[in-house]
Amino acid sequence: MLIHLPSVASFIDSTDAIVYAAYQNGRVDPDSAVHVSDCSETFQRCLSVEDRYVIEVVARYQALHIQMLVNIK
């Protein structure tokens, strides 16, 4: 599911923590995909409190999902 991050004109995919830039018309730029951990310091500094919280929740979900997969093996 894509979640809008208005403070940085982007979207984050909640299933894989990939961030996409948003066009001015509100659509996703599929060629701009970058993992949230690889986003620039400028991106990080520009995040609003609300958007930072969204990213933290997505990151926690990612970590939990990975841990569950490791435990299955």
Residue range 2-57, pLDDT digits in tens: 999 999 999 999 999 999 999 999 999 999 999 999 999 999 999 999 999 999 99
- When pLDDT is cut at 50, 70 and 90, the band that residue 73 belongs to is low
Domain spans in the chain, listed from the N-terminal domain onward: 2-72
Query: Which residues 6+ apart lie within 8 Å of 32 measured at CB?
Result: 19, 20, 21
Q: Is 58 exposed, middle or buried (0-12, 13-18, 19+ CB in 10 A)?
A: buried
